[in-house]
Amino acid sequence: MMFVVAHESDSQWDDRLDRVSIATTSTDRIGAWTPYNYSGWARVKALDGWQPIRLNRADGSPLTQVLVRKKGGVVAATYCPGGFLGAEPVNAAKFSELLRATLHVRVLYARVHMLTPTKFVEPALEGVGWHRARSMLSSGRSLKLRLDASEESRQELLSFNWRRNLRRGERHENIVSVVERPNATEIASLHDELEQLKGDHVNTWESSLPHVERFIEGFGSRLVVVKCVSAQGNLRAIRGAIITGGCAYDMLASTSAEGRKHYSSYVTFWALANELARRGVVRYDLGGVDEVKNRGVFDFKHGTGAIGIDYGGEFEAAIPSASRGLLSSLISRLR
């Protein structure tokens, strides 16, 4: 048997993922870092109609969290946003067949986002049943920042412009603090303002108050949020990350129009990185980048001294195989 359904509580599953993350912190196999296999993310996506099932490998170790949408008990679309955990390859054809049998459907579309480096993914997936996804949901690239060094050492890795803007931010009455109880309304409103500033508003989960509320509730103490206000108390920036074992993953980042003028994003990011380091985080994944479509964000993250990483990316399979093209385009709208 390739996998068995994990019948355990959310907290038990999450605690096991923490242990996997701690065990792999010093290696390049970093799929366990991401928050997308945790129960908190399943709670967020439940608002969009996705329901989770969690799978263990035959040896009892966690394999993946699968988000499922079923139609009439006949068709199921599944998505593993956190990828497969563990070093052993997964036989994609067998996985798909077993997943279809587990869900009791005739038509299955399966997608997995492999958040492990490419060198570990291609032998495991390409050529054994999976295909590169036709409509990609992400760039497949990210940046990782080491935090297991002194603040002074990390500052030496900053680009010239980043260091200069950090100093500017420190002179502009930016008051930063770690938020003990994140305010969902503040987070959603500030992100919505950011999307409006871009001039191309996108309806993302970070702008949705119900989704942000679920996010805060679902991740609990794993969520670390830093906010920045002016001397008058005006909210200028918010940044948040999820701690998974000895690692962290960037999840929230918004800056107001006022904050942009006062370099608030720089002092907020730096305060969050310092707080994560204080809590023992070794690696900080900056949550994906797209050097072409979002150059500004890429330049900001790259200027922190983070180094690039190419993830395995998105793969898909379908039963029957002829349904893959249609279902691939549909899931892009349902994410």
pLDDT in tens, 153-168: 999 999 999 999 999 9
In this structure, which amino acid lies at residue 137?
L
Displacement of CA 292 from its chain's centroid (Å): 20
Grouping H, G, I as helix, E, B as strand and the rest as coil, residue 104 is coil
Helical packing angle, 184-198 and 209-219, nearest 10°: 130
In this structure, which amino acid lies at residue 133?
A
The average pLDDT across 100-116 equals 89
Q: Are 263 and 172 in contact (CB under 8 A)?
A: yes
- So what's the pLDDT on residue 118? 62
Cα separation, 238 vs 264, in Å, equals 9
Q: Are 143 and 114 in contact (CB under 8 A)?
A: no
Q: Are 45 and 51 in contact (CB under 8 A)?
A: no
Percent of the chain residues past pLDDT 70, beyond the cut: 86
Q: Are 190 and 239 in contact (CB under 8 A)?
A: no
- So what's the pLDDT on residue 311? 84
Within 13 Å, how many C-alpha atoms sit on residue 293's CB side? Answer: 9
- The structural domains of the chain, ordered by start, are 3-142+311-334 (3.40.630), 148-281 (3.40.630.30)
Q: What share of the chain is helix, strand, coil (3-state, %, to 5)?
A: 40, 30, 30
Cα separation, 182 vs 268, in Å, equals 15
The average pLDDT across 15-26 equals 78
Cα separation, 227 vs 182, in Å, equals 9
Structure-token pair, residue 176:
């930063």
Cα separation, 16 vs 191, in Å, equals 32
In this structure, which amino acid lies at residue 21?
S
Q: What are phi and psi of 34, to 5 degrees?
A: -70, 150
Cα separation, 148 vs 167, in Å, equals 23
Task: Please state, rounded to an integer, the average pLDDT across all residues of the chain.
Answer: 87
When pLDDT is cut at 50, 70 and 90, the band that residue 172 belongs to is very high
Grouping H, G, I as helix, E, B as strand and the rest as coil, residue 243 is strand
- So what's the pLDDT on residue 81? 92
Q: Are 289 and 141 in contact (CB under 8 A)?
A: yes
- So what's the pLDDT on residue 319? 86
Structure-token pair, residue 331:
């899931």
| Separation in Å, CA 21 to CA 27, 62, 140, 225 | 10, 11, 20, 21
- So what's the pLDDT on residue 51? 96
Full-model pTM: 0.91
Look at residues 34, 5, 42 and name the one whose alpha carbon lies nearest to residue 17.
34
Q: Are 93 and 315 in contact (CB under 8 A)?
A: no
Cα separation, 301 vs 266, in Å, equals 10
Q: What are phi and psi of 299, to 5 degrees?
A: -60, -40
Cα separation, 114 vs 116, in Å, equals 5
User: Hunting for tokens 């679920």 — which residue is that?
Assistant: 214
Residues 187-242: tens digit of each pLDDT = 999 998 888 777 665 568 999 999 999 999 999 999 999 999 999 999 999 999 99
